[in-house]
Structure 1
Amino acid sequence: MLSVQTSSSLDLLLHKTLFYFGVNKDQWSYTVGHTFGSTWTQVLSVTAIYLFAVFAGKLLMKNRKPFVLKSFTLFHNLTLSIGSALLLLLFVEQLLPKLTSNGLFWSICHNDAWTRKLELLYYINYLIKWYEFVDTILLVLKKKNTPFLHVYHHSMTMILCFTQLNGTTPVSWVPVTINLFVHVIMYYYYYLTSLGVRVFWKKLVTVIQIAQFVIDLVFVYFCSYNLFVHRYNINLPCYGSCRGSDSAAIFGCYLLSSYLFLFVKFFFDTYRSASIKQKKQ
């Protein structure tokens, strides 16, 4: 009962916040070409600006002293941790009744599983991905390493959220909610390290991220398989039809697969080399 009341309070807070910006939560809908950030031109332009800012920023900082930015870094990480937790609770409020009444397959594939309220939450999550570009800008200003995985993951996740919004894929809630859960932990970890706290569970963050992509791929490949087999009458067994566009399904499978490969590689490169250094000492 307490969780329901908490979620309802969060929904009311969301309604009031959006109303302050002139948006009626109950009437809002994502419209390609009309809603902010809903076109490929906008998405690719922002991605190009992000990449330019990263590489140009590194050149500008080459002969400069790194910025400290401790206060803003603390605020940034704590805001993303708390914000991810609040958005996750809003997703749970919308998804739990549908899961209990209609089942898992309905919730990840059925046409009616894509609702206006969930669409709004997906859109908010998508906009947060734009803000998360600040992660990289902070690293550049502090003259810290910006590995390929970091830049690739930030830029492509924003594009992934965009493609799934346009493709209206109901299974989106699986990777989105797991990612929000991971971000609650990850950004809290960053917050603690920014405070100078030595955190012993750094390795666990990477393990959770890898587990996230394994679960994501099971769901996304399952839904994509059913989508193509049912839609194109392929003579293969399937569970039923799945809502979503072909391009969104293909892009989701490709990108999440690449994430899994890159994060596993990062895990072994990081912790295997650390283990070898310890043995030499």
Structure 2
Amino acid sequence: MSISFSAEQPFGIKLYPLFEKAYETIVGQPASAFAFAPGVTPFASTNEVMISCVVYFVAIFGGQFLMKHLPAFKPQILKVPFQIHNFLLTIVSGTLLLLLAEQIWPKYQQHGLFYAVCEPSSWDQKVELIYYMNYLVKFWELLDTVFLVLKKKKLEFLHYFHHSMTMVLCFTQLVAKTTVSWVPILLNLCVHVLMYYYYFRTASGARIWWKKYLTTMQIVQFMIDLVAVYFCSYTYFTYTYYPWMPNMGSCAGTELSASFGCALLSSYLLLFINFYRITYKKKAALKQQQHQSKKSFKQQ
């Protein structure tokens, strides 16, 4: 296998053919045969998504209720499953990240950024399959919350809201064929590679100094997401309804999916900023207070 770098081969070798071989081995049919069809493809109906959300909430809150009367699972029992869970999600997230980047980079290089985020033809069969695989991973990631319940950890609203609604978001954008989807998906995968690697390492007792910066990365991620999705929504709505206003033309997707995506990602940004403020600003204030107390004690 020759190594050469180009717009079509940004990583030196073509990764997608390797993915196709693995896909056909596991699924039993070529990757080129995949087509996302709402109501036909597994987990591709509104009812399935709604039922999944209900089952998720029943499982975590029902499990939390049951665990009130039981001791938390011992760390040594959950350690290996938790490590495997996070290690595999690190690998899968990294694989999807590279596969998607390999598909998007040539579009950007050959046609420009607007084409990559707005043109319907930018949404092709290969990209659709990667988006669908990413969507399925969102179901797998719900196990994050199950581990929290078994450990009797506090369930933050941000955690279960983000996990459940991201699954819904991925579904709505798949159905609508929203071309700009690659921006939040790529950024999300970048964060998840680091996040699941962090949890994998800390589960084995390692001390990772950059945990604080994961939340910062998530905040920056949502800021970039919002610039992309608000721009695409703006140019679509102005082109469609207010053509006299400055715009760059129409943009692929539906009005409902655009509105939902903008609203949900905006809520994520606000929630993560609030989480950062509560978690790290208060900790910093507490440390400062403890430092002042020790200083006063020494002076006495």
CA distance in 2: counterparts of 1:87 and 1:160, whole angstroms: 18
- Could you tell me which runs of 5 or more consecutive residues in structure 2 were left unpaired when the two chains were aligned: 291-300
CA contact (8 A) 1:132 1:154 kept: yes
CA contact (8 A) 2:11 2:102 kept: no
CA distance in 2: counterparts of 1:128 and 1:100, whole angstroms: 29
Q: 1:205 to 1:2 in 2, by over 3 A?
A: farther
**How far off its partner does 1:18 sit?**
2.1
CA contact (8 A) 1:10 1:86 kept: no
* TM score, norm. by length of structure 1: 0.96
CA distance in 2: counterparts of 1:51 and 1:219, whole angstroms: 31
Instruction: Find the counterpart in structure 1 of residue 40 from structure 2.
Output: 34
Residue identity opposite 1:232 in structure 2: Y
Cα deviation, 1:65-104, whole Å, max 9, x if unaligned, reads 2123100101111111111111111011111111100000
Residue identity opposite 1:132 in structure 2: E
CA contact (8 A) 2:225 2:265 kept: yes
CA contact (8 A) 2:36 2:129 kept: yes
Say whether residues 1:149 and 2:179 are aligned partners: no
CA distance in 1: counterparts of 2:157 and 2:32, whole angstroms: 40
CA distance in 2: counterparts of 1:259 and 1:215, whole angstroms: 12
The counterpart of 2:147, out of the listed 131, 138, 157, is 138
Aligned residues, how many? 281
The counterpart of 1:114, out of the listed 123, 131, 136, is 123
Q: Which residues in structure 2 correspond to 1:4-15 (within 5 Å)?
A: 4=9, 8=13, 10-15=15-20
Say whether residues 1:169 and 2:190 are aligned partners: no
Cα deviation, 1:11-70, whole Å, max 9, x if unaligned, reads 233212321312321121101111011111000000000000010000111121212310
The counterpart of 1:18, out of the listed 4, 11, 23, is 23
CA distance in 2: counterparts of 1:129 and 1:238, whole angstroms: 34
* TM score, norm. by length of structure 2: 0.90
- Could you tell me which runs of 5 or more consecutive residues in structure 1 were left unpaired when the two chains were aligned: none
Instruction: Find the counterpart in structure 1 of residue 210 from structure 2.
Output: 201
Instruction: Find the counterpart in structure 2 of residue 51 from structure 1.
Output: 57
Deviates more, 1:168-177 or 1:19-28: 19-28
1:63 match: secondary structure = coil
2:126 match: secondary structure = helix
Q: 1:73 to 1:9 in 2, by over 3 A?
A: farther
Say whether residues 1:86 and 2:95 are aligned partners: yes
User: Structure 1 segments of 4 or more deviating over 4 A?
Assistant: 5-9
Say whether residues 1:260 and 2:260 are aligned partners: no
CA distance in 2: counterparts of 1:103 and 1:10, whole angstroms: 22
Say whether residues 1:279 and 2:284 are aligned partners: no
CA distance in 2: counterparts of 1:7 and 1:176, whole angstroms: 23
CA distance in 2: counterparts of 1:174 and 1:104, whole angstroms: 11
CA contact (8 A) 2:97 2:186 kept: yes
CA distance in 2: counterparts of 1:218 and 1:127, whole angstroms: 26
Cα deviation, 1:126-166, whole Å, max 9, x if unaligned, reads 00000000000011011111100000000000000000001
CA distance in 2: counterparts of 1:58 and 1:187, whole angstroms: 23
Q: Looking at CA atoms only, which structure, 1 or 2, has the larger radius of gyration?
A: 2
CA distance in 1: counterparts of 2:31 and 2:12, whole angstroms: 15
CA contact (8 A) 2:4 2:13 kept: no
CA distance in 1: counterparts of 2:4 and 2:151, whole angstroms: 43
Identity %: 46
Say whether residues 1:228 and 2:233 are aligned partners: no
